[in-house]
Structure 1
Amino acid sequence: MAMEIFVWKGDITSIQTDAVVNAANSSLAGGGGVDGAIHRVGGPKIMEESRILKIKKYPNGLPTGQCVLTSGGQLPAKYVIHAVGPVWKGGDYQEASLLETCYKNVLQLSSDRAFESIAVPSISTGIYAYPKELAAPIAIQTVLDHKDQFPRKLIFVCFDQETKDLYEKILNQSGVNFKEGISSL
């Protein structure tokens, strides 16, 4: 069974899936944007689990492109996949490769855990300043390259209408059937 792809504009902390992806920083300590919102809404359990992971496994920080799993705390999602995307430095520092690796690792972890549904933000396009028009094709192509594995449902959660329109345009150009919104989850 192939993956179903959804595009939704909304608050990633409100969506009920097996996992939500957090656009995390390497310290796993919460921050701004999606990262701050997930930690704030998810509550202290996520922060405590992240702190323990950092101390025990990643004392120098989670490397860019990698991801780790915590519980969902008080979120509707059961788990949080904390993924560290690249900071945009102009495009000459392997940002595209690192972003692709980040999405691949999220999908691999989802497959390893047999997650049926995950919600994914536009990683690195907020505070890390990766241009949306360059990041979205990488996200979409990486997902399409792995669409025959878990998760069964992937929701691209867009913060604003501009990002949602961009994802829909690229998916349409790719000839991909996708669903708007999340009512059919």
Structure 2
Amino acid sequence: MNDPHSKQSSHLDRKDHDDHLKSTNQLSLQIAQPMSFHHSLSVHFGNILGVDADCIVNAANEGLLGGGGVDHLIHQVAGPALAQFCFKLPVDSQGVRCSVGHSVITPGFMSKYKFIIHTVGPYLDEQGQIQPKLLADCYRTAFKLAIDHGCRSVVFPAIATGFYGYPMLEAAQITIETLNSMLQQLETGISINVCIAVFNDLEQQIWNSRFGENC
């Protein structure tokens, strides 16, 4: 089912095809300033569905009915039951079921995952600037839902770095800083293993050059 409200299916100015963004991402390979990872945080290079976990995080659009990239992949594997479930969720007059920076949890509809957490990443703003708080909010709200639902493991994609055009190095830094902080703030007796699945070839190179000793 294709979401008529999906920016992924209607927005023509694909930021991941923008020459300036490509140059920015390429230049990121020259930066090597290692950052430490929390012991419960790991990286998987490859398809997100190659990671076993209680919960998988979907980089969704505001309509939650499917789009491109990992969103398409998860809907394809979960089958029509996922879109049918999401269709019944509360929606506003603009077709929004989940606003940017927020997250919604659904059943997994896959034997591999108990839950799917759908989160909506930010585009660059009207001035073409990154929105770090909104991207961090994606990780915070999704992480909290995983904890609240008793998950012992969760796998995230690299949110907003593909179609949505968030520069890959900046996104990686926000990802690690936010998840490190969330893991450090867990109450005593609560633990969760967090994995980040990095699929894009260039993005994998950036993560290796920036966080190589942890990847």
The TM-score normalised by the length of structure 1 is: 0.82
Give the aligned partner of residue 96 of structure 1.
132
Equivalent of 2:99 in 57, 60, 63: 63
Equivalent of 1:122 in 132, 149, 158: 158
Is residue 2:173 matched to residue 1:133?
no
Residue identity over aligned pairs, in percent, reads 31
Contact 1:19 1:115 in 2 (8 A): yes
Say if 1:54 and 1:126 are closer, same or farther in 2 by CA, change over 3 A. farther
Equivalent of 2:192 in 125, 129, 152: 152
Is residue 2:89 matched to residue 1:53?
yes
Displacement of 1:55: 4.3
Displacement of 1:10: 1.6
Contact 1:42 1:75 in 2 (8 A): no
Equivalent of 1:21 in 38, 57, 68: 57
CA deviations 1:60-84 (Å, max 9, x no partner) are: 3311000001111135212110001
Say if 1:122 and 1:20 are closer, same or farther in 2 by CA, change over 3 A. same
- How many residue pairs get matched? 171
Give the aligned partner of residue 37 of structure 1.
73
Structure 2, gaps ≥5 residues long? 1-37
Contact 2:89 2:97 in 1 (8 A): no
SS in 2 for 1:28: coil
What is the distance in 1 between the residues matched to 2:162 and 2:154? 20
What is the distance in 2 between the residues matched to 1:63 and 1:151? 28
Give the aligned partner of residue 147 of structure 2.
111
Displacement of 1:121: 0.6
SS in 2 for 1:146: helix
Contact 1:5 1:153 in 2 (8 A): yes
The TM-score normalised by the length of structure 2 is: 0.72
Say if 1:8 and 1:152 are closer, same or farther in 2 by CA, change over 3 A. same
SS in 2 for 1:111: helix
What is the distance in 1 between the residues matched to 2:139 and 2:171? 11
Displacement of 1:19: 0.6
- The CA RMSD measured in Å over matched residues stands at 2.3
Say if 1:22 and 1:39 are closer, same or farther in 2 by CA, change over 3 A. same
Contact 2:44 2:51 in 1 (8 A): no
Structure 1, gaps ≥5 residues long? 181-185
